[in-house]
Amino acid sequence: MTSETASPLAKILHDSRSEILDEWINQQLSDPERSRSVPETTIRSSSEEFIRLFEQGSEKGNLSDLTKPEWKDLQTMLTELSTSRAVQGSTPTETAKFIFSLKQPLFARLNARAGQTEANLIKQIVELSSLLDKLGLHTSEAYQQSREAIIRRQQREMMEMSTPVIKLWDGVLAVPLIGTLDSARTQIVMEALLQRIVETGSKVAILDITGVPTVDTQTAQHLMKTVAATRLMGADCIISGIRPQIAQTIVHLGIDIHDITTKATMADAIKEALTQGGWKVERKSEKATN
Amino acid sequence: MTIKSQEERAIANENDIADVRNSVKRIASLLNFSLVNQTKVITAASELARNVLEHGGGGNVLIQLIAESNRTGIRLIFADSGPGIADKEQALEDGFTTGKGMGLGLGGARRLMDEFEIQTPDGGGTTVVVSKWLDKP
Amino acid sequence: MERIPILKLGEILLVTIQVDFHDRSALALQEDLTQKIVDYSSKGVLIDISALEMVDSFMGRVLGNIAKTSRLLDCNTVLVGMQPAIAITITELGITLKGIHTALTAEDGIELLNTLIQNGNNGQSKVFGKRRLYL
């Protein structure tokens, strides 16, 4: 069903395209709240592309149903635009304003057309406004989603950075665990640890939980998973950093740590690891050479 | 969600299980999964295919590449027309720490994948749907 | 269907599992190994799985059975070359490889087998404390 606004819209886009484009671009550039994160050249090229795809979409006369195929290209362009704006550091408002600021030049041209009844003009403005609102909201949504994806990626990177696997000695690795040990973290620890075991040929890994605030049944399971995977690789684990409260919690919860070696401190764990590896640590003679 | 591509594999004998693994591997590798995640998908597929053969009397699997607005993934739909599963809850429970339940492999497959759904209507037959997503960076 | 070659190295049997290891071959391997352990009075079996891309519960059972039958024949089994991705997946699946020792490399595996053989099979491994049982 062809909208009544389609024809006047098509006409003004056809007749005054470059003027509309110029006015629109100028309005964006002169906005006092405009951030500098988006360069002028980008604003120009985005606007041009938008008008082109906007014209393409409105050709079929459907100005209300954005799910129809003629609007697909424009939607895709807007999703990409929002994503790149999000990455550039632009705000969601600015990205939506990109669309909303097109209203002014379009309405002005509709208004200027001769032979229009007021009633018709109002209808056209309402319909066009509604269309642009939908497009504006679409950009906001796309913007949000890409921000969320960025945050997830950063979270993962933070987790990877905060779980280093350190080579303490020949054949001895240490993994200081800081913060809560959830299942996502455990996956990262396991992958990093096992990879290092292969690279270094280590036989012992010390998992230090001094920095893990609480140990519940879940955390214990994650720890045991890590130990099990390590043993499958032909190495073994020592869990160190067991604070008194943690020890009590483990007993209280009835968690069975099977036959995993545990130590209160990292120092004890290192001694144990070295002994297991056949190392002996001796103090050099106290006498100083004169 | 859209289905970008789909392949079907019959599961009628032992050889088919290896065939399913290879097909899943081929399709999963189109997606850029990490090695660990790819291994998980292939292993889950192997478990579920074996189930279809050993408990369902044979069936098939649909291997689909799926996509949503900001992510893509792989989905596997295993179906058989066997006797079905009387007690779903019990079948899924195998307890990681007790190590039991190498029997049905359902609990294991669930842990390996992101999404897991099982339908076993009264009339018989079982359908298991599992999927794993790749987050776009 | 190819049968997997089993090499004899003194008291130890070496088995290298190939990439396209089909499920039926696993059962054949079990039979062959058991036979050879008896034929040669072997004391140790080294299974190299570095070429395996996946171990599911079926494979886990096969490996477990190999270890159990070997044990009954006074023979130790050591698995080497497990890829990290597989170790992680097996753990998540909940597969227990009870009774199988593991080592990182073939050299480590042979060293372990020799130690186990010296200490007498079925005894505790003195090399690295309690490394025999897995979750």
- Tens of pLDDT, residues A33-91: 777 778 888 889 999 999 999 988 888 888 888 888 888 899 989 988 888 888 777 88
Mean pLDDT of chain C: 84
Nearest to A227 by CA among A194, A180, A178: A194
What is the interface size between B and C, counted as CB pairs within 8 Å?
Answer: 70
Interface of B with C in 20-39 (CB under 8 A): 21, 25, 35-36, 38-39
Least confident of A275-279, B17-21, C9-13, C75-79: A275-279
Confidence of residue B93 (pLDDT cuts 50, 70, 90): low
Could you report the per-residue pLDDT of A144-202, keeping only the tens digit for each? 888 888 888 888 788 777 778 999 999 999 999 988 888 888 998 999 999 999 999 99
pLDDT digits (tens, 9 = 90+) for B6-53: 999 999 998 899 999 999 999 998 888 989 999 999 999 999 999 898
Mutate which of C22, C89, C96 to disrupt the B interface (most B C-beta within 10 Å)?
A: C89
C-alpha distance from C65 to closest chain A C-alpha (Å) = 17
Q: Looking at the partner chain, which of B36, B70, B97 has a beta carbon nearest the beta carbon of A149?
A: B70
Is the complex ipTM more than 0.90? no
Binding-site residues on chain C for chain B (CB distance < 8 A):
20, 22-24, 53-58, 60-61, 83-86, 88-89, 92-96, 135
Spatial distance between the Cα atoms of A208 and A265, rounded to a whole number of angstroms: 8
* Chain A contact for B123 (CB, 8 A cutoff): no
**Could you tell me which chain B residue has the CA closest to the CA of A188?**
B36
Task: Flag whether pLDDT at C14 surpasses 50.
Answer: yes
Confidence grade of residue C132 (pLDDT, cut at 50, 70, 90): very low
A132 by DSSP, 3-state: which?
helix
Cα torsion at B10, B13, B19, B24 (round to 10°)? 60
Would you list the DSSP string of chain B? -EEEEEEEEEE-SHHHHHHHHHHHHHHHGGGT--HHHHHHHHHHHHHHHHHHHHHHSSEEEEEEEEEETTEEEEEEEEEE-SS--S-HHHHH---TTTT--TTT-HHHHHHHSSEEEEE--TTS-EEEEEEEEEE--
Predicted pLDDT of residue C19: 67
- Is the CB of B97 less than 8 angstroms away from the CB of A224? yes
Cβ neighbours of B42 in C, within 8 Å? 53-54
pLDDT of residue B100: 39
Backbone angles phi, psi at C53, to 5 degrees: -95, -10
How far are the Cα atoms of B106, B120, C48 from residue B123, in angstroms, in the given order?
21, 8, 46
8 Å CB contact of A203 and C128: yes
pLDDT of residue C135: 38
- B104-116: average pLDDT: 86
- pLDDT at position C124 is 44
Q: Given a cut of 50, is residue C134 above it in pLDDT?
A: no
Using a CB-CB cut-off of 8 Å, the residues of chain A touching C105 are 201
Indicate the pLDDT class of residue A253, thresholds 50, 70 and 90.
confident
Mean pLDDT computed over B98-117: 72
> What residues contact A213, with CB distance under 8 A and at least 6 apart?
A179, A180
Sequence letter at residue B49 = A
Which chain A residue has the Cα nearest residue C127?
A276
Amino acid symbol at B95 = G
Residues in chain C: 135
Is the pLDDT at A285 greater than 70? The verdict is: yes
Distance from CA of B92 to the nearest CA of C (A): 12
Summarised one tens digit per residue, pLDDT across range A198-235 is 999 999 999 999 988 888 888 888 999 999 999 999 99
**Taking all residues of chain A, what is their mean pLDDT, rounded to a whole number?**
87
Residue B85: Cβ-neighbour burial (10 angstroms; 0-12, 13-18, 19+): buried
Q: Which residues sit opposite B115 in a β-bridge?
A: B131
**Would you say residue B102 has pLDDT above 50?**
no
**How confident is the model over A97-153, as pLDDT tens digits?**
889 999 999 888 888 887 778 888 888 889 899 999 999 999 888 888 888 888 888
